[in-house]
Chains A and B, each alone.
Chain A
Amino acid sequence: MAANEKVDVLIVGSGASGAAMAWSLAETKMRILCLEQGDWMKSTDFPSNGRDWEARRYTDFDISPNRRGRDTDYPINDDNSLMKIANFNGVGGGTLIYTAHWPRMHPSDFKVKSLDGVADDWPVDYWALERFYEENDRMMGVSGLAGDPGVPPRNPPMPPIPLGKTGTHYAKAMNKLGWHWWPSDTTVATTAYDGRAPCINLGHCTPGCAQGAKASTDITYWPLAIRAGVELRTRCRVREITTDEHGMASGAIYYDAEGKEHFQPAEVVILACNGVGTPRLLLNSASARFPDGLANSSGLVGKNLMLHPWPVVSGYVAETLDGGRGPITSMWSKQFYETDPSRDFVRGYTLQFGRTTGPANEAISSAAAGRLPWGRDHHRIYRELLDHRVNIGVACEDLPEEHNRVTLDPVLKDSNGIPAPRIDYTISENTRRMMEHGIARAEEILTAAGATRISTSRTVLNYPGHLLGTARMGDDPERSVVNGWGRSHDVKNLFIVDGSIWVTSGGVNPTSTIQALALYIADQMKQRLATLFD
């Protein structure tokens, strides 16, 4: 096996959290290396450059790694889960194909035990993270509007995405009902920002932004981190984290693009492989000293997986809207976010209002839903659908439950022979009641908006690619995998910074908080450099 020169810090994974971590630690002048299994993506390769832009979301830009099947992907057995796994493996990780919706967690999300009597409080709170949220907003470049009574004060550096016809339509309905709404914060640049061009409404933000207006970490954090001396090595798939005779992490074994095995020694190892990739790697790093997987004396590695069940309610209005010709994200509502004792569930959800989709996807999704017939009626009905769709996503908080988990699949393996992750996940009774409540409210809104053909799928849920909770933070080593600043309780030079350290999931898209936490952990490490392993 080829052995490489030792580095001070080895980061595995270059996505949302790995990039923020690398950039923040770069000022220490330590030797920092990031290993990433995927490639750099070129904006000229993104689908919106070509006439087949809509079809490619079902092939090489599918959000499911199993369908996408690039050789940089690893398979995931999610047969035993109603919620499927979405991700992207490349420099930028999930931010390459995320939708750029950018809410923060609420202060109450960090205190669910003391405020609502469920699950556990986090070992950090909103106010400890606040300045890192702000720093991250500047780094990623956020558009939005200050003054929202639904969330704590924040100051997005760019103006919000226009409401357009679709947003105006929703806003009228919300005002009729007297319910809260506000233009969403997003990481779509609405003005020129830090070398990024402004959004030109390609309307297809999820599978990569050809204009470079959407913030993915390959164009935000990474260029700065690399300029500051961090090395990023692509096409390096880590198989396991190794340990020495003292039980400390000694480095990682990885395969390069040719399948050749390497050993990369390091003083400190930081995992940033997301809520599925990180437990997979820890479980696959079992050894005589750590027979149940690395950092797993609590038995919680892989457990408490949270995925955000996300029903979407759709309808059609008479007015012609601007679906497909602007960013998908538009507005949010926090009307039902906080716990209300009069409801039959605890915790809550965000309503996310979408601008919809292009001509082929309107036809494909409507045919699949049985709305669009085949035959001579096809053209007439299609004209009633195209550019008339409104839809609302119900972003539900799911609470941590140990039976929802990531394990190693006994059979399925990736192209390097590394066991694939297996997902077992069910939706709890509390979340089901929350979903029904949200679906009913969304139906009320669409009805107030004058929509007809209202439909919801309860069985095929949207799967948002929010992978959380499988190596949770906490003060008690028996009830958590890492401490309040991301260090493994068991292995004192091993840190975890991705979505797996979440204690609960909130009812929001997670990346803003994932990155704020990574910056917070980097800051804690910098303050403790002399005593990092004590």
Chain B
Amino acid sequence: MNDKADTGLSAAEIRDLADIAGTMVPASTELGMPGADDPAILADIVKSLGRDLARVREAVRAIGALADGALGAMHQDKREALINDCFANGGAAAAALGRVVLGAYYRDDRVLLALGMEARAPFPKGYALEQGDWSLLDAVRNRPPLWRDDRAVPGGER
């Protein structure tokens, strides 16, 4: 990880963040997906805050205030509506929160495997890319030139 900065979040803020992250991306037993409040994923989120720390803290506080400090106690429908409204209103703080939560979530091994992907960095193995259907180019090959030849256009020669 590149940002080595201390997380700076207090234990209480991390608890609030867990409630928020678990509402943003809840676990699904049916799909075999952990939630973003899973301990390993939450730890990765907290470790990755880096330069987004201040904005994420601002977002956590703003959501906490909207929920009167009781997000965890709210019904899931209400929690989800509150978070979706909060993001719909935009702003740099919400964007940073979304970026950090999703950045950590979608690199977790269990998440990638449940999506049918390999849990690894792209390098050094890379991927295979099929050639595709080059015969489709036959329709284009023998078209007349589309570009203007300035040597053939009056006023074109210097």
Contact = CB atoms under 8 A, between A and B. Distances in A.
A297 interface: no
B147 A150 contact: yes
B25 A108 contact: no
A59 B52 CA distance: 9
B140 interface: yes
Output the residue of A48, A111, A378 with the most chain B CB within 10 A.
Answer: A378
Interface stretch (A241-249, A298-306, A364-372): A364-372
Interface string A113-136: 011000001000111000000000
Given A54-B107, A111-B156, A325 B127 contact: yes
Interface residues of A, number: 79
Contacts of B64: none
A464 B151 CA distance: 31
A204 interface: yes
A58 interface: yes
A130 B1 CA distance: 45
A337 interface: yes
A107 B149 contact: yes
Given A59-B3, A59-B50, A106 B147 contact: yes
A403 to B, nearest CB: 29
Contacts of A204: 122
Given A200-B127, A363-B105, A337 B147 contact: yes
B129 interface: yes
B26 A375 contact: yes
A163 B146 contact: no
A151 B147 CA distance: 6
Contacts of B156: 107, 111, 114-115
Interface in B83-139: 83-84, 87-88, 95, 98-99, 102-107, 112, 115, 117, 120-134, 136-137, 139
Interface stretch (A5-13, A168-176, A409-417, A421-429): A168-176
B102 to A, nearest CB: 4
Contact of B132 (A115, A162, A359, A378): A162
Contacts of A48: 121-123
Contacts, number: 208
Contacts of A108: 147-148, 150
A60 interface: yes
A335 B129 contact: no
A171 B136 contact: yes
Nearest to B84: A374
A100 to B, nearest CB: 15
A472 to B, nearest CB: 17
Contact of B121 (A49, A115, A162): A49
A382 B16 CA distance: 25
A145 B137 CA distance: 11
Interface of B: 1-3, 23-26, 28, 31, 33, 48, 50-51, 76, 79-80, 83-84, 87-88, 95, 98-99, 102-107, 112, 115, 117, 120-134, 136-137, 139-151, 153, 155-156, 158
Interface of A: 46, 48-56, 58-60, 67, 69, 106-108, 110-111, 114-115, 121, 125-127, 145, 147, 149-152, 161-165, 167-168, 171-172, 174-175, 180-183, 199-204, 210-211, 322, 325-326, 334-335, 337-338, 358-360, 362-364, 367-368, 370, 373-376, 378-379, 383, 386
13 contacts: A58-B99, A107-B150, A125-B158, A161-B129, A168-B133, A175-B139, A203-B122, A322-B129, A334-B146, A335-B146, A338-B148, A367-B87, A375-B24
